[in-house]
Amino acid sequence: MTTQIGWAELGRYVGGAFALYLILEGILPFLNPAAAQRLMAKLAQTEAAQLRWGGLISMVAGLALLWMARNG
């Protein structure tokens, strides 16, 4: 099954996804600024390789969740 979408619809999907990302990203600093500061301080001291692995794992998990959401 192939799905054809236009550029305008793709833009709406990407815009909606980015908006949701910003909402989720802002929850911790809004609810608990001190915890957000501690987290950022720990992240600043983390090795680059560990951050890369964490980013890769996050992307793979996100792709898996997106695939499950789209394909049931």
Contact 43, 51 (CB under 8 A): yes
pLDDT surpassing 80 at residue 3: no
Higher per-residue pLDDT: 47 or 4: 47
Amino acid at 40: M
56 token code pair: 């890769």
| pLDDT (tens digit per residue) in 32-66 | 999 999 999 999 999 999 999 999 999 999 999 98
pLDDT of 11-28, one tens digit each? 898 999 999 999 999 999
Closest CA to 25 of 58, 48, 68, 63: 58
Q: With 80 as the cut, is the pLDDT of residue 1 above it?
A: no
Q: How confident is the model at residue 2 (pLDDT cuts 50, 70, 90)?
A: low
28 Cβ contact partners less than 8 Å away, ≥ 6 residues apart = 35, 36, 39
